[in-house]
Amino acid sequence: MDPSDERQTVDWEDLDKKRFYSYGITFFMGVRALLYPPFLLKTKIQVARGGASEKSAFQVARATVREEGVRGLYKGFWISSTSLVFRQVYFTTYEVVRHHLGPGSDLYQRLGPEKGELVRNMSAGAASSAVMQCFTVPLDIIGQVYGESGLRGFYRGFGISVLQFAPTSAIWWAAYGVYSRAFVRALGNLPEPVPELTAQQRQVGGQAAAGFCTGMTTVLLTNPLDVLRTRLQVEGRRGDDRTIASEYRILMAESGPRGLMKGLGPRILAMAPASVLIVSVYELIKRLSRKTPLPPPPAGTPQLPSQPPATARTAAFATTTVTDPNHR
Query: What was the pLDDT predicted at 240?
Result: 55
Query: In this structure, are residues 223 and 279 in contact, taking their beta carbons and an 8 Å threshold?
Result: no
> What is the structure's pLDDT at 192?
65
pLDDT in tens, the chain (328 residues): 444 444 456 788 889 999 999 999 989 898 888 888 887 887 787 777 666 556 777 888 888 899 999 888 998 888 778 778 778 888 899 899 999 999 999 999 999 988 998 899 899 989 988 888 777 665 555 544 444 444 454 455 566 667 767 888 888 888 888 898 888 888 877 776 667 777 777 877 888 888 899 889 998 888 888 888 778 766 655 555 677 788 888 888 888 888 888 878 877 877 788 888 888 888 788 888 988 765 555 555 444 444 443 333 333 333 333 334 344 3
For residue 304, the Cα-to-chain-centroid distance in whole angstroms is 21
Structural domain tally of the chain?
A: 1
Decide if 324 contacts 143 (C-beta within 8 A). Answer: no
Partners of 315 in the beta sheet? 326, 327
pLDDT of residue 132: 83
Question: Given this model, what pLDDT does residue 1 score?
Answer: 43
Which CA distances in Å does 67 have to 62, 64, 71, 98, 264?
9, 5, 10, 46, 24
CB 326 within 8 A of CB 316: yes
pTM (2 d.p.): 0.67
pLDDT reported for residue 79: 78
| Residue of 205, 139, 148, 167 whose CA lies nearest to 315 | 167
- Find the domain containing 285 and state its range: 3-327
CATH at residue 290: 1.50.40.10
Q: Residues 184, 202: contact at Cβ < 8 Å?
A: yes
